[in-house]
């Protein structure tokens, strides 16, 4: 009998958790499971703002896929997916001549920056999205600081962060922690550095309780961060940014965190998308494709008909991966899949190492060092889910 082929694209929160689940629940020989990822490692996206600011080394934000995936259970291929053919049920990779065939496809390829059509953004801004990208941001920023010693131009030590959502605020918080050390290293007076956070929406951290928003902005302002709220960026140039009203902010480092859309490969595969993301059914399937499951940042899950979709988070991607890791086994055994239900455990946004704000469960507010502690616990929990206590002890930062 032909062994069914399950192909998982992307070893992010969703894809890796799916692979882990299948590795655990499938009997040997019950299916052929293949995981494809462009790097040999998984990056812990929720920590990428730290190496991007230079407050921790990028190795703390990645782990080898081989350390969590069993090679006898899951076949891992390191390569880049270049196209998905949903009719022939084949996936093409950059460095493999023969395409991969599948009976079941799990797409967990994450997101791409959403630029909202802002001119020059893709060409001139940095994005916090991978180990490569954050290494570049940190090194670029440091190089600009080192140049300031010779050429005292203010823009060299001005950092613009576009977007004051979750990622933007977390990054700004890390920058605030990083600056004293960086300024000492390059003999720059701390008060000369400008960290400018620009947001088009009427408030920072949209969706968060006003008390928490005020706590976050008061704290960051006390550390010298400048906010331009309700202020769309009209253009990003090689010199900095131009705001909608025409004002120019000269900055040698511009980091865009203003939003994400689904991975373009999904759209290109002819799957119906809304801003690059797929409205999946209760079993996480793409519309019209019984055998294709979409999880994580490329998927859209609605709590109910008239509500807005859940925001793309590691938390929902992880739960989707856990769901598929179990339910795909049910499908293979001829059973009926359950319906995916998302259980929010709350959200914590860090403001540097010792400060954070957030909500636990549905609406219990936390802030300050307590919230920061909870944030660390959630990071350790991810390591625990992937590799148990030994991975926590090996990779966890306490
Ligand atoms: C700085 C920052 C902080 C965040 N903090 C939080 C937080 O505290 N809590 C929270 O819940 N969420 C947080 N998020 C959001 C969260 O990280 C994402 O929602 C989550 O990573 C989505 O998981 P995913 O599985 O969809 O994709 P990802 O984790 O992005 O993984 C996608 C994988 O696919 C691979 N891939 C992509 N394209 C290809 C290709 N063509 N070929 C092969 N492989 C490919 C990538 O290399 C990657 O390994 C944060 C995001 C950022 C940027």
Residue at a domain's end among 294, 315, 336:
336
H helices within the chain, ranges in order?
13-25, 49-53, 121-124, 131-148, 166-185, 210-222, 264-268, 314-332, 369-395
Domain boundary among 301, 317, 336: 336
Among the candidates 305, 336, 367, a domain finishes at: 336
Please tell me if the CB atom of residue 314 comes closer than 6 angstroms to any atom of ligand 1: yes
pLDDT value at residue 398: 63
Nearest to 241 by CA among 203, 189, 199: 199
Q: Are residues 165 and 196 in the same domain?
A: yes
User: Is residue 375 in some structural domain?
Assistant: no
Considering the domain boundaries, does residue 355 fall inside one? no
Do 101 and 186 belong to one domain? Answer: no
Tally of domains in the chain? 2
Structure tokens at 82: 């270049």
Could you list the residue range(s) of the whole structural domain that residue 234 is in? 121-256
Report how far residue 232's alpha carbon sits from residue 2's, in angstroms, rounded to the nearest whole number. 55
Q: Is 113 in the pocket of ligand 1 (CB under 6 A)?
A: no
Do 131 and 16 share a structural domain? Answer: no
- 137 located within any domain: yes
Do 165 and 134 have their domain in common? yes
Query: In which residue ranges of the chain is pLDDT below 50?
Result: none
Locate the ligand 1 atom nearest the alpha carbon of residue 15 and give its number: 25
Report the sign of the C-alpha dihedral through residues 155, 158, 164, 170, in that order.
positive
Is residue 32 flagged as an active site residue?
no
Does the Cβ of 75 fall within 6 Å of ligand 1?
no
Q: Can you spell out the DSSP letters for 315-363?
A: HHHHHHHHHHHHHHHHHHTT-----------EEEEESSSS-EEEEETTT
Prediction pTM value: 0.95
Q: Whose C-alpha lies nearest to ligand 1, atom 26?
A: 296
CA 314 / ligand 1 centre spacing (Å): 7
Catalytic residue among 142, 150, 155, 170: 170
């Amino acid at each position: 009998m032909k062994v069914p082929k399950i192909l998982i694209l992307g070893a992010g929160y969703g894809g890796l958790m799916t692979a882990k689940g299948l590795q655990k629940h499938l009997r040997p020989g019950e299916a052929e499971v293949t995981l494809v990822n462009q790097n040999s490692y998984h990056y812990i996206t929720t920590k990428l703002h730290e190496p991007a600011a230079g407050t921790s080394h990028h190795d703390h934000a990645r782990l080898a896929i081989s350390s969590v995936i069993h090679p006898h259970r899951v076949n891992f291929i390191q390569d880049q997916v270049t196209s998905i053919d949903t009719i022939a049920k084949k996936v093409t990779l950059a460095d493999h001549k023969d395409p991969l065939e599948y009976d079941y496809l799990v797409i967990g390829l994450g997101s791409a920056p959403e630029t909202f059509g802002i001119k020059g953004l893709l060409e001139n801004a940095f994005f916090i999205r991978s180990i490569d990208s954050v290494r570049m941001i940190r090194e670029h920023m440091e190089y600009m600081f080192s140049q300031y010693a010779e050429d005292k131009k203010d823009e060299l030590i001005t950092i613009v962060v576009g977007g004051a959502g979750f990622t933007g605020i977390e990054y700004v918080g890390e920058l605030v922690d990083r600056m004293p050390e960086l300024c000492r290293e390059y003999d720059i007076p701390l008060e000369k550095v400008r960290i400018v956070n620009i947001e088009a929406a009427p408030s920072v951290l949209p969706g968060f309780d006003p008390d928490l928003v005020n706590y976050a902005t008061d704290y960051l302002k006390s550390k010298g961060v400048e906010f331009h709220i309700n202020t769309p960026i009209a253009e990003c140039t090689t010199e900095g940014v131009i705001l909608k009203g025409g004002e120019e902010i000269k900055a040698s480092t511009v980091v865009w965190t203003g939003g994400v859309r689904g991975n373009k490969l999904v759209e290109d595969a002819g799957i119906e998308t809304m801003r690059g993301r797929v409205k999946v059914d209760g079993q996480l399937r793409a519309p019209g494709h019984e055998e294709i499951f979409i999880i994580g940042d490329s998927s859209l899950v609605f709590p109910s008909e008239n509500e807005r979709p859940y925001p793309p988070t590691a938390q929902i991607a992880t739960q989707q991966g856990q769901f598929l890791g179990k339910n795909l086994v049910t499908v293979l055994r001829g059973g009926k899949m359950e319906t995916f239900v998302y259980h929010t455990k709350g959200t914590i946004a860090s403001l540097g190492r010792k400060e954070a704000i957030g909500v636990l469960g549905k609406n219990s507010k936390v802030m300050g060092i307590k919230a920061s502690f909870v944030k660390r616990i959630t990071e350790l929990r991810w390591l625990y889910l992937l590799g148990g206590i030994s991975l926590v002890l090996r990779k966890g930062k306490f």
